[in-house]
Amino acid sequence: MLVVLKRDQEEVGRHAAHFVASAIRRKASLTLGLATGNTMVGVYRELVRLHREDHLDFSRVTTFNLDEYFGLSPEHTESFHHAMHEHFFSHVNVNPRNIHIPDGAIAGDCEEYCSAYEQAIRDAGGIDLQILGIGRNGHIGFNEPTSSIGSRTRLKVLSEQTIEDNRKLFAAGEEIPQCAITMGIGTILEARRILLLASGEAKAAAVAKSIEGPITSSVTASALQLHPDVTFLLDEAASMALTQREYYMKVLKMTAMLTPSRLT
């Protein structure tokens, strides 16, 4: 596990975008796991800039989004489909055929749909790099507390805290979905590389528990401790509750000296 500390959300976004860009430059046909949320907006902004100004080419990239609200059509302005197109897909050259986002409006058997999503990930050769945000309760994707480490893509009931946190994204008075389709913890752990981003004081406790606490289904991001190649990219505020902060900074300095390419 690598803990990378940056000053603020803007630096976190820029660093994450360059991390993704260098993965695409190394493998043009990268399978990229994507996330939504406020923390991701700066990442997409910088990726769009790199596409426009530095010819970053997404034409062979395949994407899989982590999650989507259940009961919202892709056209709904609060859906993750909508956010992804608004912030990213409509500005870059990802082939629309290679874009995968769980469909929150599926009419048929949800379990079957979720297994097909898992199969599509396998058919694409598995996820090379998964980007994650984190919820205040330590969730990744929409894997709320109580999600098992082996969980796969499925329908998950949202916690009250998550519903409250997401209320700001919806118009006043509008009903917020109570459930979501999300990749499971087991699905996420199969990605070859994982990059988790967190910014702001509100995430500090969840971040500290995920990195330094026991592995527990009460803080689902703690399962990432089991992954052999995970980077936590944090701004100052999000890193404040870490007890080993100074040590991570030292490791970072030494790692940069020994293996500079890992950090680009």
Which chain residues interact with ligand GLP by CB under 6 A? Answer: 35-39, 66-67, 133-135, 141-142, 162
Question: Which lies closer to ligand GLP via its Cβ, residue 39 or residue 62?
Answer: 39
Question: Which lies closer to ligand GLP via its Cβ, residue 41 or residue 249?
Answer: 41
Of 51, 87, 139, 227, the catalytic one is: 139
Least distance (Å) between residue 85 CB and ligand GLP: 17
Residue 67 among the catalytic residues: yes
Least distance (Å) between residue 171 CB and ligand GLP: 17
Question: Which lies closer to ligand GLP via its Cβ, residue 177 or residue 250?
Answer: 177
Which position has the token pair 């695409």?
A: 24
Sequence-distant (6+) residues with CB within 8 A of 67 are 36, 80, 102, 141, 142, 180, 181, 182, 183
Cα–Cα distance for residue pair 49/42, rounded to 1 Å: 11
Question: Which lies closer to ligand GLP via its Cβ, residue 109 or residue 164?
Answer: 164
Alpha carbon 212 to its chain's center: 20
Question: Which lies closer to ligand GLP via its Cβ, residue 31 or residue 39?
Answer: 39
Least distance (Å) between residue 53 CB and ligand GLP: 25
For residues 58-73, one letter each, b for 16 or more C-beta atoms within 10 angstroms of the residue's C-beta and e for the rest, the string is beebbbbbbbbbbebe
Of 46, 51, 67, 190, the catalytic one is: 67
Least distance (Å) between residue 41 CB and ligand GLP: 8
Least distance (Å) between residue 233 CB and ligand GLP: 13
Q: List, as one string, the DSSP characters of 21-72.
A: HHHHHH-TT-EEEE--SHHHHHHHHHHHHHHHHH----TT-EEEESEEETT-
Least distance (Å) between residue 28 CB and ligand GLP: 26
Residue 144 among the catalytic residues: yes
Closest CA to 88 of 17, 146, 29, 137: 17
| Structural element, H or E, at residue 156 | strand 154-157
Q: List, as one string, the DSSP characters of 223-262.
A: GGGG-SSEEEEEEHHHHTT-TTHHHHHHHHHHHHHH-GGG
Question: Which lies closer to ligand GLP via its Cβ, residue 35 or residue 99?
Answer: 35
Residue 137 among the catalytic residues: yes
Cα–Cα distance for residue pair 56/60, rounded to 1 Å: 11
Residue 57 among the catalytic residues: no
What's the token pair of residue 192? 């070859």
What residues act catalytically? 67, 137, 139, 144
